[in-house]
Amino acid sequence: MPLKIYNSFTRQKELFNPITPGHVGMYVCGPTVSGESHLGHARPYITFDIVYRYLTFKGNKVRYVRNITDAGHFEEEGREAEDKISKKAVLERLEPMELVQKYTNLFHWAMKQFNCTEPSIEPTATGHIIEQIGMIQKIINEGYAYEVNGSVYFDVKKYAASHDYGKLSGRVIDELLETTRELEGQEEKRDRADFALWKSAAPEHIMRWQSPWGEGFPGWHIECSAMATKYLGTTFDIHGGGMDLQFPHHESEIAQSTICNHAAPVKYWMHNNMITINGKKMGKSYNNVIKLTEMFSGNHPLLTQAFHPMTIRFFILQSHYRSTLDFSSEALVASEKAFKRLWEAYEALQKLEPANQGAATDTELDARILKWLDEFEEFTDDDFSTPKVLANMFEMAPVINSIKDGLIAPAAIATSTLQLMKEKFRVFLEDIFGLQPVSESNNNTLKAVMQLLIDIRKEAKSKKDFALSDKIRNQLNQAGVLIKDEKDGGMSWSL
RNA sequence: GGUCCUUUGGCCGAGUGGCUAGGCACAGCUCUGCAAAAGCUUCUACAGCGGUUCGAAUCCGCUAGGGACCUCCA
C-alpha cells in the first residue's frame, strides 16, 4: 500500500516516493543542548521515531540524521550577539563543553525512556565547523552573501529576486521586509530580512572558531544545511521538525542549500504541531514548560502525579502529529488508564489459544476484525494517522477480553484471524509505535514472590478464609500491586 | 500591524458532504464472598448567524473566541 505524507512545502498530501527506491534519507532538527528538554520537545522526537520505524517496516533502508546543536544559536536581543550556551556556561561556572555534555547525556537518557530509536548519525554542530565555513564560502562565491566586520550575512533580497523565498512558510518577501521587527544591532545588514551565516565573536565570547572572516561562530541555520548535505546529499527525502521552525530556520535552510548546491534540498517537509498548555504553546518564552524529568517524577505544580514515559508516548500517539495537543494532568491520567487497558488486552491476546477448528463460527465478527486489522496499515499510510489505529485496537479490546473470559467462544473467529491479530498487534504496538510494558512484571524474582502469595491466597479463598485473602490483597494493593480475581478462579496481578 | 491556522459532548481527541470514531470520567446492569478487573448499556456533540445542497460538524460568507509565526523556540 502506498504511503502518503503531508508535505508542508506544497501544503498537500503526496504519495511518498523516495529519491532512491528502497532508501530514505531523513533529517530531523535535534535539540539545542543548552538546557533540559521539556514535554514539548518530546513530540517531534516521538513523531519522527514513528516515521522512521514505519518507513523501515515498509522495507526501506533509512538513514536518520538528527543533529545536536551544541554551538548555540546567537541571540540578537542585546547589543552584541551572544552565544546562548557560553552565556549560561558562565552563569553555571562550567566549561561550555561540559554543559553541552551534561544536557546531551540527559537528552539521550530521555530518548531512551521514550524508547526512541537512535538516529543513524547524530552529528554535532561543533564537530562540523569546517563544513559550515566551506558552505558559507561557497555562498559568498556564488554572490549571495557578503561580509561586514567579520560577520557574514545571506543576501535575502538578491535570493528572492530569482527564487521563491517564503514558499515553505507562506510568506511574501515584500511583506517580510516591512514587517520584520525593529531590532537593535542590525545596522550591519544590507537588509532587515538578511540572516547571519557567520557572526564575529565579541571578546568575552567563549565559543569561537577561526574563520576566513576572523574569530567567530556559525549562524543559526547553517549547521543543519551543512550536516544534512554532508550525510544525506544535496537533495534528500524528508526533513522534519516543529512547526515553529518553518520560519525562519527551515526557510533559510532552503535558501542556503539551494545556492550552495544548486538544488532544492528537501523533497518532503514534515512539521509536527505544538503541545499546548491551557491553549498556549509550551515554550521557553511563555515560561510554561514542564521538563521531562518533572513529568517522570511528578514534581511540578501542574502535575497531580508522576507519568511514565510510555504514558506520554501513548498520549502523543492519540492525537495526529499535525494537530495541537493540549496538555493537562487530567488528559495524561486518561491516557495512562487507556494505555494500561490496551496493553493488558494485548498481553491477553498473545496468550489466547486458537480453537481446534480453523473456520470462524461468527463470520460477521471475524470479518469485522479482519477489516480493523487491515486498516492499521491503511490509516498509517494516510499521513501517519496513529489515533485511528489506536481506536481500532480499542474496538478489539472487548473482543479479546471476552474470549479470555469465555464470553465469546474462541471458535467464533478463525484460527488464521487470531494469528493475524497477534501478529498485527505486536508489529504495530511494539515495532512501529514503539510502546513497551510499563510495569516491571518481567522481573523473575518478583514473579516468584507473587506466585507464592497468589498460591497462599487461593488456598485461603478455597477455605473461605476471606480475612486472610483480603489481607493479602489489601496489603499488596497498598504496596502498589493489584490483584485481580478472574472468572475461572484464577488470579492475575499488575503493578 | 501583517500572514496563516483553529473552535467537536464533563475532559482529551479522530473525522471533511449522507454511515456509532476512540479514550477518560459519570450512571445503571451482569459476573463476584466483597472489591477490583472484565463484559453489556446509557449519555451521542460539532462556537453563533446566514448561504450552497436532496442532504453539512464537514463547502462558502459574516460575527465572536482561541492560537501560531513575523524574535530564541520542537
Residues 213-232 of A with CB under 7 A from strand B: 220
Reported in sequence order, the residue ranges of A300-377 that DSSP labels E, i.e. its strands, are 325-327
Instruction: Give the per-residue pLDDT at A253.
Output: 97
Taking the C-alpha atoms of residue A349 and residue A145, their distance in angstroms, rounded to an integer, is 61
Instruction: Give the per-residue pLDDT at A24.
Output: 98
Taking the C-alpha atoms of residue A367 and residue A413, their distance in angstroms, rounded to an integer, is 9
**Helix (H) or strand (E) segment spanning residue A201:** none
Averaged pLDDT in 10-residue chunks for chain A of 495 residues: 92 94 97 93 97 98 97 43 61 73 95 97 96 97 95 94 90 65 63 90 82 93 96 98 95 96 96 94 91 95 94 97 95 95 95 85 94 96 96 96 92 94 97 89 77 88 88 86 79 82
Q: Closest residue by Cα to the C1' atom of nucleotide B39?
A: A402
Taking the C-alpha atoms of residue A34 and residue A171, their distance in angstroms, rounded to an integer, is 30
As a rounded value in angstroms, the CA-to-C1' distance for A417 and B40 is 24
Domain boundary at A383, A401, A432, which? A432
Structural domain span for residue A370: 280-432
Would you give the distance in Å from CA A490 to the centre of its chain? 40
HSE-CB at A116 with a 13 A cutoff on CA atoms is 26
Strand B at less than 7 A from CB of A123: no
Q: Which nucleotide is nearest to A182 (CA to C1')?
A: B71
Residues A98 and A34 in one domain: yes
Instruction: Give the per-residue pLDDT at A438.
Output: 85
Domain boundary at A272, A289, A316, which? A272
- Pairing verdict, β A145-148 and A151-154: antiparallel
User: Is residue A459 in some structural domain?
Assistant: yes
Q: Which three cell numbers stand for residue A88?
A: 549560561
Strand B nucleotides within a 7 Å radius of protein CB atoms: 1-4, 11-15, 21-25, 31-40, 66-74
Residues A215 and A328 in one domain: no
Identify the three-state secondary structure at position A444. Answer: helix
Residues A117 and A240 in one domain: yes
- Nearest alpha-carbon partner for A482 in A340, A331, A299, A298: A340
Residues A365 and A459 in one domain: no
Strand B at less than 7 A from CB of A61: no
Q: Which nucleotide is nearest to A466 (CA to C1')?
A: B33
Taking the C-alpha atoms of residue A268 and residue A10, their distance in angstroms, rounded to an integer, is 9
Residues A475 and A392 in one domain: no
User: Is residue A458 in some structural domain?
Assistant: yes
Instruction: Give the per-residue pLDDT at A441.
Output: 61
- Nearest alpha-carbon partner for A119 in A272, A228, A203, A235: A228
Residues A251 and A140 in one domain: yes
User: Is residue A477 in some structural domain?
Assistant: yes
**Helix (H) or strand (E) segment spanning residue A218:** strand A216-218
Instruction: Give the per-residue pLDDT at A352.
Output: 93
Domain boundary at A272, A304, A328, which? A272
Tell me the sheet residues that pair with A272: A242
User: Is residue A169 in some structural domain?
Assistant: yes
Distances A132 to A65, A151, A194 between C-alpha atoms, Å: 17, 14, 18
Domain count for chain A: 3
Residues 368-427 of A with CB under 7 A from strand B: 385, 387-388, 390-391, 394-395, 397-398, 401-402, 405, 407
Residues A333 and A238 in one domain: no
Asked if omega into A248 is within 30° of 0 (cis), the reply is yes
Instruction: Give the per-residue pLDDT at A178.
Output: 58
Residues A345 and A457 in one domain: no
Taking the C-alpha atoms of residue A74 and residue A198, their distance in angstroms, rounded to an integer, is 10
- Find the CATH number of the domain harbouring A59: 3.40.50.620
User: Is residue A437 in some structural domain?
Assistant: no
Residues A73 and A182 in one domain: yes
Residues A131 and A20 in one domain: yes
All residues at 6 or more sequence positions from A60 whose CB lies less than 8 Å from its CB, including other chains: A18, A22, A23, A24
- Find the CATH number of the domain harbouring A352: 1.10.730
Question: Which amino acid is residue A289, in one-letter code?
Answer: V
All residues at 6 or more sequence positions from A122 whose CB lies less than 8 Å from its CB, including other chains: A30, A65, A66, A67, A68
All residues at 6 or more sequence positions from A3 whose CB lies less than 8 Å from its CB, including other chains: A15, A16, A54, A55, A58, A380, A381
Report DSSP letters for A46-96, one per residue.
HHHHHHHHHHHHTT-EEEEEE-BB-S--EE-SSSS-EEHHHHHHHHHT--H
As a rounded value in angstroms, the CA-to-C1' distance for A302 and B56 is 39
Instruction: Give the per-residue pLDDT at A452.
Output: 86
User: Is residue A164 in some structural domain?
Assistant: yes
As a rounded value in angstroms, the CA-to-C1' distance for A4 and B64 is 36
Q: Closest residue by Cα to the C1' atom of nucleotide B15?
A: A388
Q: Which nucleotide is nearest to A73 (CA to C1')?
A: B72
Identify the three-state secondary structure at position A377. Answer: helix
As a rounded value in angstroms, the CA-to-C1' distance for A324 and B50 is 30
Rg of the Cα atoms in chain A: 27
Residues 431-490 of A with CB under 7 A from strand B: 461, 466, 469-470, 473, 482-487
User: Is residue A438 in some structural domain?
Assistant: no
Instruction: Give the per-residue pLDDT at A34.
Output: 86
Strand B at less than 7 A from CB of A76: yes
Taking the C-alpha atoms of residue A198 and residue A211, their distance in angstroms, rounded to an integer, is 9
Residues A210 and A88 in one domain: yes
Q: Closest residue by Cα to the C1' atom of nucleotide B70?
A: A180
Please state the φ and ψ torsions of residue A187, each to the nearest 5 degrees.
Answer: -65, -20
- Nearest alpha-carbon partner for A25 in A227, A175, A205, A161: A227
As a rounded value in angstroms, the CA-to-C1' distance for A93 and B13 is 45
Q: Which nucleotide is nearest to A338 (CA to C1')?
A: B23
Q: Which three cell numbers stand for residue A120?
A: 543513524
User: Is residue A439 in some structural domain?
Assistant: no
Residues A81 and A210 in one domain: yes
Residues 258-317 of A with CB under 7 A from strand B: 272, 274-276, 279-286
Q: Which nucleotide is nearest to A320 (CA to C1')?
A: B14
